[in-house]
């Protein structure tokens, strides 16, 4: 999109401007596309000050931009003196100085540690919201995508497999890979239609009811927080505990075929032990057949 | 336990450490001798040149007409050659350093041919290429240009012999510039010329400076190609090294005085390039971890 690579096929159009068109062999060079590009490590010019970096892209002096991203006090600093979050802001201010028609952020948190990452992510989300500018963020992290994006396009082996909101991706994943990206348990099974939807007999053993109608071989997705533990005798689905660990104040229980997230027990029941056999259940509406809307 | 047994072990260890200390002293002494011999060999000729005549004679000899003429010729021809070299070789090195194309390595190798060519052969080559009866001689004559044995010929000889030193260093310096920075400069609206002048050149400064200093030093010392292609005419083509050679028979004191001058100039260039190198590296290095190191090293 920035024009740094020449694709083999396709078209890139922004509004009425055609930037790339493979059949017509049209390729507009980067300096003539108005893309505000933030590469993974921000690529600030090390020989220029913060203000110099911004001025490089601006046709006129733009002190307002540093103010807008909240780093006016760093105008005279060199990139090597800045923290990761500050560098990102400089890169953003510099990209904005170009007066871009679209922003392209490549792995914006790749160069940051976890603590800075969360802080910077929230700040970036706020900034992008105030910019009134289309922004395309490339990331491997679904968490980042949820915070930053209204619409998420999932690329799998070079193809766009689904373009939807985070909620839609979770509710009706188009492929097993999309479901896995959202963190769901993905299982193979055979569906038989029933009065309230369908009953799915899992390949690994056990059954789950779904509110969706389906028949034949299917894949289902269930989120870890939608599974509930129950008495192994009273359910058609059982599994064995592999490990239990704390996950942001909840317990993440890994079973042999599933993982689930539960609230820590407060009612005095004995904690889960490794090797313990447990029963599982999920509400039929939470058992989603992959690839069905 | 006997007294011998009690004292035996420590005694052996004393002996061992004594041997160890002796070995250490031998190694240090050996290293000192090697360093002294090598340094003496390298520095003795320089000391000899400086001490050959009393200081006031040396200074008087600098003022001789042959010397001042040669200084002016050297200064003028080297300045012109240096300017042409920087103006043409920098964009050339940028193109070769940043682009990938078929035959690139052939170009890089050809650029270095003058480096391994004996300077006298280079002079002959220039003569049969640009001289009156050379390959381009006829064309040049028609245009009313006669290069051989003129000051322009001195400039050409210096360019031919010295610019490969600059080109080689400059290509390496441009190769070391982080591509992402140039890519980003493009997306920020900088065209090819601006990317080169505002991003690549500043980032390659240390490498370019070192290469330019080396080439300049080589140009000031140029002898073989100049004497064959431009001759040695006092006041027009007789540069400092040529003056040393022509005075060698006539007036050894003056020859040595000019030699001292050349040493001072070369030392100054060497010192300047070292200072530029350390200044640029102290100014722009120490990127924090995670940031790409994108500074061209010389």
Q: Tell which of B100, B182, B188, B294 to mutate to test the A interface (max A CBs under 10 Å).
A: B188
pLDDT for res B42 = 94
| Phi (first) and psi of residue A285, to 5 degrees | -75, -15
The answer to whether residues B39 and B150 belong to one domain is no
From A125, A149, A173, the end of a domain falls on A149
| Residues of chain A contacting residue B182, judged by C-beta atoms under 8 Å apart | none
3-state secondary structure of A86: helix
Q: What is the CATH number of the domain that holds B116?
A: 1.10.3720.10
The answer to whether residues A43 and A134 belong to one domain is yes
Is the CB of A111 inside 8 Å of chain B's CB atoms?
yes
pLDDT for res A273 = 76
The answer to whether residues B62 and B28 belong to one domain is no
The answer to whether residues A75 and A134 belong to one domain is yes
Q: What's the structural domain count of chain B?
A: 2
How many Å separate Cα A133 from the centre of its chain? 20
pLDDT for res B281 = 62
The answer to whether residues A130 and A42 belong to one domain is yes
pLDDT along chain B (298 residues), means of 10: 49 68 89 95 93 88 88 95 96 92 90 90 91 80 80 94 94 93 90 91 91 93 92 91 91 91 91 79 45 36
The answer to whether residues B253 and B283 belong to one domain is yes
Q: Tell which of A2, A37, A56, A103 to mutate to test the B interface (max B CBs under 10 Å).
A: A56
A209 assigned to some structural domain: yes
Please give the ipTM for the structure prediction. 0.74
How many Å separate Cα A183 from the centre of its chain? 10
Is residue A88 over pLDDT 70? yes
Is the CB of B249 inside 8 Å of chain A's CB atoms?
no
The answer to whether residues B93 and B149 belong to one domain is yes
- Asked if the Cβ–Cβ distance from A46 to B295 is below 8 Å, we say yes
The answer to whether residues B30 and B103 belong to one domain is no
pLDDT for res A261 = 80
Q: Model confidence at A46, in pLDDT bands (50, 70, 90)?
A: very high
Q: What is the average per-residue pLDDT within A251-260? A: 82
The answer to whether residues B117 and B27 belong to one domain is no
To the nearest whole Å, the CA of B205 is away from the closest chain A CA by 10
Is the CB of A55 inside 8 Å of chain B's CB atoms?
no
Q: Detail the DSSP E strand segments found in chain A.
A: 11-14, 17-21, 26-27, 35-38, 102-106, 135-138, 152-156, 159-164, 185-194, 197-202, 207-210, 216-222, 227-230, 238-247, 250-255, 259-262, 277-282, 288-289
Parent domain of A224: 196-263+273-291
To the nearest whole Å, the CA of A36 is away from the closest chain B CA by 7
The answer to whether residues B178 and B210 belong to one domain is yes
A162 assigned to some structural domain: no
Select the residue of A34, A39, A46 nearest B184 (Cβ to Cβ). Answer: A39
Minimum mean pLDDT among A42-56, A91-105, A247-261: which range? A247-261
Tens of pLDDT along A144-193? 888 888 899 999 888 888 998 888 888 888 888 899 888 888 888 888 88
Select the residue of B178, B188, B284 nearest A56 (Cβ to Cβ). Answer: B188
pLDDT for res B298 = 32
Instruction: Give the separation between CA A51 and CA B85, rounded to whole angstroms.
Output: 33
CA-closest candidate to residue B59, choices B241, B252, B267, B253:
B253
The answer to whether residues B169 and B114 belong to one domain is yes
Q: Detail the DSSP E strand segments found in A54-158.
A: 102-106, 135-138, 152-156
pLDDT for res B156 = 94
The answer to whether residues B93 and B16 belong to one domain is no
Instruction: Give the separation between CA B236 and CA A116, rounded to whole angstroms.
Output: 68
Tens of pLDDT along A110-141? 777 777 788 888 888 888 888 888 888 888 88
To the nearest whole Å, the CA of B182 is away from the closest chain A CA by 9
The answer to whether residues B46 and B59 belong to one domain is no
pLDDT for res B33 = 95
Q: Quick one: DSSP state of residue A188?
A: E
From A121, A149, A177, the end of a domain falls on A149
A10 assigned to some structural domain: no
Tens of pLDDT along A214-232? 888 899 898 888 888 887 7
- Asked if the Cβ–Cβ distance from A98 to B188 is below 8 Å, we say yes
Parent domain of B165: 55-297
Structure tokens at B269: 């260039």
Is residue A268 within 8 A of residue A249, CB to CB? The reply is no
Which residues lie closer than 8 Å to A173 by C-beta, 6 or more apart? A162, A179, A182, A184, A221, A288, A290, A291
Q: What chain B residue is nearest to A87 in terms of C-alpha separation?
A: B291
Please identify among residues 146-205 of chain B the ones whose CB lies closer than 8 Å to any CB of chain A. Answer: 178, 180-181, 183-191, 198-199, 202-203
CA-closest candidate to residue B132, choices B201, B45, B229:
B229
To the nearest whole Å, the CA of B285 is away from the closest chain A CA by 8
């Amino acid at each position: 999109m920035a024009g740094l690579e020449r694709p083999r096929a396709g078209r890139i159009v922004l509004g009425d401007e055609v930037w790339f068109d493979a059949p017509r062999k049209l390729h507009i060079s980067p300096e003539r596309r108005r893309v505000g590009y933030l590469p993974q490590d921000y690529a600030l010019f090390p020989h220029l000050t913060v203000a110099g970096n911004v001025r490089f892209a601006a046709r006129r002096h733009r002190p307002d931009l540093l103010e807008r991203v909240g780093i006016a006090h760093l105008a005279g600093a060199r990139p090597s003196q800045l923290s990761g979050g500050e560098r990102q802001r400089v890169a953003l201010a510099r990209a904005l100085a170009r007066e871009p028609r679209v922003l392209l952020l490549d792995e914006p948190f790749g160069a940051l540690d976890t603590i800075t990452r969360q802080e910077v992510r929230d700040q970036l989300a706020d900034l992008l919201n105030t910019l009134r500018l289309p922004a395309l963020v490339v990331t491997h992290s679904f968490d980042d995508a949820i915070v930053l994006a209204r619409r998420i396009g999932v690329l799998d082996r070079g193809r766009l497999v689904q373009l939807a909101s985070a909620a839609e991706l979770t509710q009706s994943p188009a492929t097993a890979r999309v479901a896995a990206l959202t963190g769901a348990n993905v299982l193979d099974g055979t569906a038989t239609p029933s009065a309230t939807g369908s009953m799915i007999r899992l390949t690994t053993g056990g059954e789950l009811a779904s509110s969706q109608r389906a028949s034949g071989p299917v894949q289902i997705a269930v989120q870890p927080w939608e599974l509930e533990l129950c008495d192994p005798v009273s359910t058609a689905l059982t599994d064995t505990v592999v490990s239990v660990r704390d996950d942001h104040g909840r317990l993440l229980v890994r079973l042999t075929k599933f993982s689930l997230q539960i609230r820590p027990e407060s009612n005095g029941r004995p904690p889960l032990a490794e090797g313990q056999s447990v029963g599982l259940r999920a509400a039929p509406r939470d058992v989603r057949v992959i690839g069905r809307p | 336990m006997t007294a011998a047994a009690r004292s035996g072990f420590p005694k052996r260890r004393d002996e061992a450490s004594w041997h160890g200390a002796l070995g250490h002293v031998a190694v240090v002494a050996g290293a000192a001798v090697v360093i002294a011999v090598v340094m003496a060999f390298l520095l003795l000729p320089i000391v000899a040149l400086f001490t050959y005549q009393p200081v006031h004679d040396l200074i008087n000899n600098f003022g001789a007409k042959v010397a001042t003429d040669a200084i002016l010729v050297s200064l003028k021809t080297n300045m012109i050659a240096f300017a042409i070299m920087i103006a043409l070789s920098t964009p050339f090195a940028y193109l070769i350093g940043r682009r990938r194309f078929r035959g690139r390595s052939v170009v890089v190798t050809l650029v270095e041919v003058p480096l391994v060519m004996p300077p006298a052969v280079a002079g002959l080559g220039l003569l049969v290429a640009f001289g009156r009866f050379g390959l381009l001689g006829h064309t040049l004559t028609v245009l009313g240009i006669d290069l051989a044995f003129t000051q322009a010929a001195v400039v050409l000889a210096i360019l031919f012999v010295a610019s490969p030193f600059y080109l080689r260093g400059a290509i390496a310096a441009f190769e070391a510039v982080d591509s992402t920075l140039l890519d980003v400069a493009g997306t920020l609206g900088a065209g090819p010329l601006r990317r080169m002048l505002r991003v690549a050149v500043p980032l390659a400064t240390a490498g370019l400076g070192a290469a330019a200093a080396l080439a300049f030093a080589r140009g000031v010392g140029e002898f073989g190609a100049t004497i064959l292609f431009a001759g040695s005419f006092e006041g027009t083509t007789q540069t400092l090294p040529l003056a040393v050679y022509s005075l060698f028979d006539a007036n050894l004191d003056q020859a040595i005085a000019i030699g001292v001058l050349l040493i001072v100039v070369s030392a100054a260039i060497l010192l300047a390039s070292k200072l530029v190198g350390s200044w640029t590296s102290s100014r722009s290095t120490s990127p924090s971890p995670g940031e790409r190191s994108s500074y061209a090293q010389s």
